[in-house]
Structure 1
Amino acid sequence: MLPAYIQIHNQIKDEIDQGIWKIGQRLPSERDFADHFEVSRMTLRQAVTLLVEEGVLERKVGSGTYVASTRIQEKMRGTTSFTEIIRSQGKHPSSQVISYIESKPNKKEQAHLELRPTETVIRMERVRYADEVPVVYEVAVVPKKFIARFAKEDITQHFFKTLTEHGFKIGKSQQTIYARLAEGVVTDYLGLEAGQAILGLTQVSYFDDGQAFEYVKSQYAAERFEFYLENN
């Protein structure tokens, strides 16, 4: 027979899946919840702590325990566009273009994109949304030679789709993830408070022939997005 705290853990999780407890809803106090399940507060606390560790529940200091907000998930395998990720989860993707300019690549961009200092890149700054909720602020750099014949809207609204429709074959990507705190303009763009958690992602995307075509630095609102790994 399963330990009592595991049984309670499973029941709470099932009730959340069934919609009995809604996303963002505050759970009863520890004492009331323990009385409800007819267990000690220590047993109830074990079940809740496990659910918090799994990301099903979240504790807010001085406020209580809540059903965690659902996060958009990106599987860390291959190269997938933000638009495809959002649509795959039944949400509507959109973007706000902050800037779109031509410039020369800096040294880091030259290295990642294998460019000469004299070549030209398009640098676009965007905020990406899911169902009109801001999820990520990103700065993407693309060699102009690959996209010179495309309209600005084709690049800013559905970049990967435009490439594949014109014969480019998307290959692998290299990604680096890091944690940081929100600050500066990112707090305004993502509707966060200074000091809230940010998931940073640096990504270099390649065509199937190994040619790098995009270098992106993204900052995700951690409470709205998560990455997960899948091994074959």
Structure 2
Amino acid sequence: MAAPAFYLTLRDALLDLIQRDQLPRPGCLPAERWLAEHFQTTRVTLRQALTQLESEGVIYRQHRKGWFVAPKKLVYEPVQDVSFTRYVTAQGRVPQTEVLGFVQLAAEERIAHQLELQPGDPVYRLIRRRFIDQRLVLVERVWMNARYLPQLEQQRFDQSLWRVFEEVYGIQLIDKQITLTPTALQHEEAAALCVTPGSPGLYITRRSATAQGEVIEYDEEYWLQDVMTVRITTQHA
């Protein structure tokens, strides 16, 4: 039987280093040059091993910052009607939101179709980045029907939008259509998430309406691929 490729042996050695908590800085791998010298290998072989661990969700890379040990994955249940802040907090993690921009503009055809409007109708666009335990995990663009949300610009956007809809406007979003698609993060999303273009990600869209069928929100989210585990819970009638 042929011996395993050396990069897989190196992968096991790196994993052992992580699991035994033998890193010089907790949660952070040493520089690639140090690792290559420590294991007496080339940078090419080392990167094969690191990429293998990244694909397994053991470590992750931050652009220009290095390699880090991945925290426990977030459990995401798309069928649950719970905001990001609430389900992250419920799992003992610390959520954080950074607002990148908010503007009212005329709906382009693609967004008008999602919100069941005519092209040119007024919509709001909110761009935010989300963090879990201070790690940047997703960037989102939220498009909202301005007709139902007058003076929305006066609200805070570092909190749950669903709470704003309910408490300020008396709007409950009951009907949600969600899609999840593996993707390669392109330049704009990759830059916002501080990763290199082409990095694997997860593209999630959410279209939310009231019980009366009024579409209020269309959300596009770009997640880092190693952040979450998707879980679906069904109930028999």
- TM-score interval for Structure 1 and Structure 2 normalised by the shorter chain: 0.5 to 0.7
Counterpart position of 1:185: 188
Counterpart position of 1:228: 231
- Which sections of structure 1, spanning at least 5 residues, go unmatched? 1-19, 27-51, 61-66
Give the percent of matched residue pairs that are identical in Structure 1 and Structure 2. 19
Counterpart position of 1:219: 222
CA distance in structure 1 between the partners assigned to 2:152 and 2:161 by the alignment? 10
Q: Is the 8 A contact 1:78 1:173 kept in 2?
A: no
User: What residue identity is the alignment partner of 2:190?
Assistant: T
Q: Is the 8 A contact 2:100 2:129 kept in 1?
A: yes
Q: Secondary structure at the match of 2:196?
A: coil
Q: Is the 8 A contact 2:84 2:160 kept in 1?
A: no
Counterpart position of 2:200: 197
1:137 is aligned, of 139, 150, 165, to 139
CA deviations on 1:41-69 (whole Å, 9 max, x unpaired) are xxxxxxxxxxx9xx7x7599xxxxxx863
Q: Is the 8 A contact 2:96 2:134 kept in 1?
A: yes
TM-score, normalised with respect to structure 2:
0.66
Q: Does 1:125 align with 2:156?
A: no
CA deviations on 1:65-117 (whole Å, 9 max, x unpaired) are xx863111210214332122222222222222222111111122222211123
Counterpart position of 1:159: 161
Q: How many residues are matched? A: 180
Counterpart position of 1:102: 104
| Aligned-pair CA distance for 1:151 | 4.2
Residues 1:92 and 1:147: Cα distance change in structure 2 (over 3 Å): farther
User: What residue identity is the alignment partner of 2:87?
Assistant: I
CA distance in structure 2 between the partners assigned to 1:146 and 1:204 by the alignment? 15
Residues 1:150 and 1:103: Cα distance change in structure 2 (over 3 Å): closer
Residues 1:58 and 1:129: Cα distance change in structure 2 (over 3 Å): closer
2:117 is aligned, of 115, 118, 121, to 115
Residues 1:151 and 1:124: Cα distance change in structure 2 (over 3 Å): closer
Residues 1:154 and 1:231: Cα distance change in structure 2 (over 3 Å): same
CA distance in structure 1 between the partners assigned to 2:72 and 2:139 by the alignment? 19
CA distance in structure 2 between the partners assigned to 1:25 and 1:188 by the alignment? 22
Alignment RMSD, CA only? Answer: 2.9
User: What residue identity is the alignment partner of 2:107?
Assistant: P
TM-score, normalised with respect to structure 1:
0.67
CA deviations on 1:135-186 (whole Å, 9 max, x unpaired) are 1111110011222234444345321111111322220210111111223132
Q: Compare 89-98 and 147-156 and name the one that shifted more.
A: 147-156
CA distance in structure 2 between the partners assigned to 1:90 and 1:189 by the alignment? 26
Q: Secondary structure at the match of 2:166?
A: helix
